[in-house]
Amino acid sequence: MTINNTQIPNNVTDLLVDECVRKRALEQAVRSRFLSCGYREVCPAGLEFYDTYSSGVGARAQEEMLKTFDNHGRILVLRPEFTTPIARLAASKLRGEALPLRLCYLGTAYANPSPKGARQRAEFTQAGVELMGCDGAQADAEVVMLALESMRASGLADYMVEIGQVDFFKGLMEEAGLDEETTELVRTYVEEKNMLAIELLLRGNGAAEAAIARIRELPMLFGGREVFARAEKLSASPKCRAALENLRAIYDALCACGFEDFVTIDLGMVHAIGYYTGMIFRGISASFGQPLLSGGRYDGLLRDFGRPLGAVGFAMGLEHVLEALDRQADAARQADEAAKAPALDALLVVGGAPLAKAWRHAEALRAQGKTVELCYVAQEAEIAALAAARRARQVIREEDAQ
């Protein structure tokens, strides 16, 4: 098959002049925010050995990655994300650096999109931070706040972060006595908030009624501070209690720093429980239907590289942010156009008058070039509300018209 040499592969995009200017401005805004908080930029290699991603807590399915070979026949992968190579740097070339390591990055990553993933890209830009060698709720809260500030710096007007805790979910699974395979299925259904599937699966596995009732509540555990009281009633296990205590400390720190209106709790958020070891979070916007960023605590990854350190971080998808900004601008433009829309000349209230009489009156006004809408409501408050919504210049009551 002959390929037109002006074409590019599927799932990649050329950026033209104006698009490139916008993207570079976003990159600079986010990078400046990272640097201002003491994070130092690194740029790990774009090619890694396949073995780096084939095992351990950061392992990825080989079909998700783009692979090639070096001249020794060794399998290489195009960098699918940044956290794993930065963990490699922290355990090798940065081993002599004073802790904690505050590192940031901004660059291109690659994937082999599934045909089912309509929105996936083969080439995408990630920006993020990794705080390594620092444990505790304060470190977690710092990274969440930086995520929020990064979204603000990007120009988003409607954004927030949802925070969860994977150990709360793990504690409930241990109480229920579920094996690893069933736990993963439950995790998927909880993420989807598919309560019927959760109940059917647990009953099919012989789970106790009390355990079923507790797990069924998970998808509903979202909101503000009140979530903690509801969650505490579900389990007395030490793991669940410790998870809630940790999450409460993070939430309290975020609220004390003025971010209460931008943070919500979601204990039904339980993605990648094999990778994350504590608090997890994702940044969202009403202007976009997918997370703009995600992250959390991952204390096991650096152990795979021979340097066990606690770590927490996040990655932001810049193409997603740009699309959210476009939608935000479209919504603002539509609102502005609606505000500038021509006002209704008259709202004609039919009241108790015959419809035929009101219609003839309306047609006479329309013949003069006026826009007239008939109104059938009777309450004054409703009439006033409709007149305001239509920006009516005049309200005419047919019963009073001469």
Q: How many other CB atoms are there within 10 angstroms of residue 255's CB atom?
A: 15
- Is the per-residue pLDDT at 259 higher than 70? yes
Q: What is the mean pLDDT of residues 128-134?
A: 98
What is the pLDDT, as a whole number, of residue 233? 92
Of the candidates 286, 315, 21, 333, the one whose C-alpha atom is nearest the C-alpha of residue 156 is 286
What is the CA 277 to chain-centroid distance, rounded? 19
Query: Do the beta carbons of residue 169 and residue 273 sit within 8 Å?
Result: yes
| Alpha-helical runs (H) found in 136-259 | 137-153, 166-176, 180-192, 195-204, 209-217, 226-232, 238-256
Q: What is the average per-residue pLDDT within 14-22?
A: 91
Q: Which amino acid is at 113?
A: P
Residue 371 has pLDDT above 80, yes or no: yes
Phi, psi of 164 (to 5 degrees): -140, -170
8 Å CB contact between 141 and 170: no
User: 3-state class of 4 per DSSP?
Assistant: coil
Instruction: Confirm if 81 and 315 have CB atoms less than 8 A apart.
Output: yes
In this predicted structure, what is the pLDDT of residue 124? 95
334 membership: H or E segment, kind and range: helix 318-339
In Å, how far are 100, 179, 251 from 37, measured between CA atoms?
A: 13, 42, 20
Give pLDDT, residue 8.
Answer: 86
Give the residue-averaged pLDDT of 233-251: 95
What is residue 5's predicted lDDT score, i.e. its pLDDT? 82
pLDDT score of 118 more than 60: no
The mean predicted confidence, pLDDT, of the chain is: 91
Q: What are the CA-CA distances from residue 341 to residues 95, 224, 391 (Å)?
A: 63, 39, 9
399, pLDDT greater than 80: no
Q: Please count the other Cβ atoms lying within 10 Å of the Cβ belonging to residue 297.
A: 27
Please indicate whether residue 32 or residue 402 has the higher confidence score (pLDDT). 32
**Model confidence at 213, in pLDDT bands (50, 70, 90)?**
confident
| Average pLDDT of the residues in 298-309 | 95
- State yes or no: pLDDT of 402 exceeds 80: no
Residue 149 in this model has a pLDDT that exceeds 90: yes
Is residue 326's pLDDT more than 60?
Answer: yes
Q: Give pLDDT, residue 1.
A: 56
Q: Which of 5-9, 31-35, 56-60, 350-354 has the highest mean pLDDT?
A: 31-35
Task: Tell me the C-alpha to C-alpha distance, in Å, between residue 61 and each of 54, 56, 354.
Answer: 8, 12, 72
Alpha-carbon span 127 to 117, nearest angstrom: 22
**3-state SS class at 168:** helix
Q: Strand 47-49: give its sheet, edge to edge.
A: 47-49, 75-78, 67-69
Q: How far are the Cα atoms of 94, 159, 226, 254, 323 from residue 289, in angstroms, in the given order?
A: 38, 12, 26, 25, 10
For residue 197, give the nearest of 219, 175, 181, 178 by alpha carbon. 219
Q: What average pLDDT score do residues 176-191 get? A: 86
Residues 6+ apart with CB under 8 A from 338: none
b/e map 109-125, b = 16+ CB within 10 Å = bbbbeeeeeeeebebbb
Contact 188, 269 (CB under 8 A): no
If you average pLDDT over residues 217-224, what whole number do you get?
91
Report yes or no: 281 and 162 within 8 Å, Cβ to Cβ. Answer: yes
Q: What percent of the chain has pLDDT over 90?
A: 68
- pLDDT, one tens digit per residue, over 264-282 is 999 999 887 789 999 999 9
Compute the average pLDDT of residues 111-134.
Answer: 86
Cα separation, 265 vs 228, in Å, equals 9
At residue 181 the predicted structure's pLDDT band, cuts being 50, 70 and 90, is confident
Distance in angstroms (rounded) separating the CA atoms of residues 284 and 245: 25
In angstroms, the CA 339 to CA 180 distance is 56
pLDDT at residue number 254: 98
**Where residue 389 falls among pLDDT bands split at 50, 70, 90?**
confident
Instruction: Answer yes or no: is pLDDT of 78 > 80.
Output: yes
- Residue linked to tokens 């999109």: 113
Q: How confident is the model at residue 211 (pLDDT cuts 50, 70, 90)?
A: confident
Give the mean model confidence (pLDDT) for residues 350-355.
89
Query: What is residue 117's predicted lDDT score, i.e. its pLDDT?
Result: 56
* Tens-place pLDDT, residues 36-47: 999 999 999 999
pLDDT band at 236 (very low <50, low <70, confident <90, very high): confident
Which residues, in sequence order, are bridge partners of residue 373? 347
* Tokens representing residue 193 in the block: 């908030």
Q: How confident is the model at residue 116 (pLDDT cuts 50, 70, 90)?
A: low
Q: What is the mean pLDDT of residues 181-197?
A: 86
